[in-house]
A and B are shown apart, each in its own frame.
Chain A
Amino acid sequence: MKKFFSFLRSMRFGIVLLLLIAAASVVGSILPQGRPMSWYSENYPSLYALILNTGVYDIYNGWAFQLLIGLLCLNLTLCSLLRIRTLSGGKDFVARAVDLRDETELNEEELSRLREHLSFLRCRKTEFDGVTVYHKNGFGRWGSFLTHLSLLLIVLVGAASLYLPKEENVACLQGETVQLDDGTVIAVDSFTMDMSSAHKDYTSVVRVTLPDGRESGSREIKVNHPLSFGNLKIYQWQWGAEGSVVVTNPEKQSSGVYYLTDRCKLTADGVSGIEYLSLQETEPEPDSGESPFIYYLVYVYDNGVVSQRGFLPGERVTVGGIEYLFRPPLYPVLRVKTLPAFINPLLIAIFALLTAALTVTFFFQPVVVKVDGKGFAVGGPKPEAMRIALQSFRKE
């Protein structure tokens, strides 16, 4: 049993797992993932059976890949536990240096220069019987443990952030509201596209009311600037265009909204009115500095006279005593993600921990140098850097 656990926490096993994950990832990056099976039979007819049987069309969600990740977590857990045990021998780390062998012999003058150099390298000094132990980066012993621990936490918390959230895409016209299943209400006050640059900028202004009554107030959502409120995170996802017109009959003091999805005619008396044709986008000359814009293309029927006209959002026309107000057609599609609020900040904190831990592991390795009356010896988990730093004192 001991051998089995020893194997599970071994570096060799960890390396094998990492390489298998890398190999699976190569396949997953080359073969498009998550397509309908008919797509694979059309595009890879000779490999279709293999793709179907091995499940490589959805490799990252397949049981084999999940098993590899699970075993990697087990490997990281076990080797982290092992490292905790070795960390407990901290105080002995310096004292054990007294027993270092393989000394380089130096004369008095060289020893004096060595001591100065070690002080210059900011090593701390601890005296034992006739022996001085110079040491630095004692905290570096924690580097490897924290690195592996943070990798483990990234996998676990990262998996939670991938698989726990509930996500849905919500389309909502400007000036309207939409209610989610949990009772959250999202009101879209406006949606604009800044089309003045080569690439469009999309901005939604929304108000969110949570089921518990908390209100976000008026907030902007743009690409790269989602709205975080409560357990919600709302992203600017896509946009759409759908025509709509507010029809007002002043005589009857009534009005209503009509959604213009297909070509249609709106008329109160069958003679005068408008016939919606389509939404159009202008194409300004390149380098003209003009922005493209969307407008309604309609036929206007006015006392037997038909004319084709374009109307910008916000414009109105009165025909046969009926007023037609053309509403902004653009609407945002927002992606709403529901996730416990602490998960994202926790993951970012773990990222920071991993970065710090790697820095310590690579660049702050603990090292000891034993100096006695005869010479010096270098020790520590990875004394290579110090050995090279003291190379001038080593006799070839």
Chain B
Amino acid sequence: MRIFFFVVVGLYTLAMVLQFAGAAFKKQPLAKSAFWLFVLAFAAQTVFTVLWGVRLSRLPLSNQFEFSNAFAWGVALFLIVLSLRLKIDWLNTVVMPMVALLLMYAALQRMSTDELSDPLRSVWFGIHIGSAVFSYAAFAVAGGAGLRYVIQTGRGADEQEAAMMRLDFLGYRLIAFGFLLLTVVILTGAIWAEDAWGAFWAWDPKEVWALITWIIYAVYLHRRLRGGKTGLKMAWFAIVAVPVVLFTFAGVNTLIPGLHSYG
């Protein structure tokens, strides 16, 4: 299974390199090949994740390796769906590296086959952690959209152009979706915490950083919806918020032990 995982990492990395080459040399066939190789890598990762879950007889979401793998899978899914549904390829160059880097981080983690510990055996396990996967993935892709926006603005694109407005709106919609799911993460986590630990909220570092992430994106959404802010500033906001998400995802577990330290 370890070898299978590294094959997946290799495929994603190759897709990323092809995409960079296609973008740098402006070769459309290269970029197209990169996308379809990316889809192949995604399919392989899906098979790997399912097989891993079958081997463990549970959803593979309980430790850093599994969550990182799921996070990368979620980002890849978003990219593929957006590319096929909206027929856009703007995000490939910025989002593909995210997937590769997340999987490289996963590769550094222990591929544990331990059974679920007692506190994790709950009906909320899949809902809470699954929502977190898609929430973080949405924020990451939104950050990618923001980065693309900044790059295009740097190349002289007009913020009033239809394509730029669509890119800006896409970033907002992704953040709105991610924010909704992050709210579900926090609320389901609270209900689960009450059953497991006797209190809806214990100021655990993971809880606190999820709240901090929620607050950051709440500020973004207020600035956008009430303040009417769009364009370059919000694109930068979406980019700058991503490290907060990454710290909540990985930094807290690594640097600040607490009730969520499950390995």
Which residues from chain A sit less than 8 Å from chain B, CB to CB?
11, 14-15, 18-19, 21-22, 25-26, 28-30, 33, 60, 158, 161-162, 167, 197-202, 222-226, 233, 235, 237, 335, 337, 344, 347-348, 351, 354-355, 358-359, 361-363, 382, 384-385, 388, 391, 396
Contacts and interface: CB of A to CB of B under 8 A. Distances in A.
Contacts of A348: 191
Interface stretch (B100-108, B149-157, B200-208): B200-208
B27 interface: no
17 contacts: A11-B226, A15-B223, A18-B219, A25-B211, A29-B208, A29-B252, A161-B200, A162-B199, A198-B114, A199-B114, A199-B115, A199-B116, A224-B196, A233-B198, A354-B183, A362-B177, A363-B176
Given A29-B208, A60-B203, A388 B165 contact: yes
Nearest to B255: A30
Nearest to A347: B200
Contacts of B82: none
A23 to B, nearest CB: 9
A25 B203 CA distance: 9
A68 to B, nearest CB: 12
A30 B256 contact: yes
Contact of B180 (A197, A198, A359): A359
A235 B180 CA distance: 31
Contacts, number: 107
A158 B215 contact: no
B204 to A, nearest CB: 9
A224 B195 contact: yes
Contacts of B223: 15
A224 B198 contact: no
Contacts of B191: 348, 351
Contacts of B256: 29-30
B218 interface: yes
A158 B117 CA distance: 28
A158 B169 contact: no
Given A30-B256, A225-B195, A19 B215 contact: yes
Interface residues of B, number: 49
10 smallest A-B Cβ distances: which pairs?
Answer: A362-B176, A223-B118, A351-B187, A199-B117, A29-B205, A29-B208, A224-B122, A22-B215, A25-B208, A22-B212
Interface in B132-181: 162, 165-166, 169, 172-173, 176-177, 179-180
B98 to A, nearest CB: 23
B116 to A, nearest CB: 7
Specify the main secondary structure of chain B where it touches its partner. helix
B227 A199 contact: no
The winner among B172, B216, B219 for most chain A CB atoms within 10 A is B219
Interface of B: 114-119, 121-122, 162, 165-166, 169, 172-173, 176-177, 179-180, 183-184, 187, 190-192, 194-201, 203, 205, 208-209, 211-212, 215-216, 218-219, 222-223, 225-227, 252, 256
Contacts of A33: 203
Given A26-B212, A223-B196, A384 B169 contact: yes
A18 B203 contact: no
Contact of B227 (A11, A28, A222, A347): A11
Nearest to A388: B169
A197 B162 CA distance: 58
Given A28-B203, A162-B199, A199-B114, A358 B179 contact: yes
Contacts of B121: 223-224
B250 to A, nearest CB: 14
B254 to A, nearest CB: 13
Nearest to A394: B162
A30 B247 CA distance: 12
Contact of A354 (B117, B187, B195): B187
Given A11-B222, A29-B209, A224-B118, A162 B177 contact: no
Contact of A167 (B165, B198, B225, B226): B198
A361 B183 CA distance: 13
A21 B165 contact: no
Given A199-B118, A224-B121, A22 B216 contact: yes
Nearest to B168: A384
A226 B165 CA distance: 51
Given A233-B198, A351-B187, 18 more contacts: A11-B227, A18-B215, A25-B211, A26-B212, A60-B203, A162-B199, A199-B116, A202-B118, A222-B118, A223-B118, A224-B121, A224-B122, A225-B195, A354-B183, A358-B183, A362-B173, A362-B177, A391-B162
The winner among B117, B119, B218, B226 for most chain A CB atoms within 10 A is B226
Nearest to A358: B180
The winner among B122, B166, B205 for most chain A CB atoms within 10 A is B205
B191 to A, nearest CB: 6
Contacts of A18: 215, 218-219
The winner among A60, A197, A224, A225 for most chain B CB atoms within 10 A is A224
B118 A355 contact: no
A337 B193 CA distance: 14
A226 B215 contact: no
A164 B222 CA distance: 33
Nearest to B125: A224
A237 B200 CA distance: 15
A361 B252 CA distance: 31
Nearest to B160: A396
Contacts of B201: 158, 162
A198 B113 CA distance: 10
A344 B122 CA distance: 18
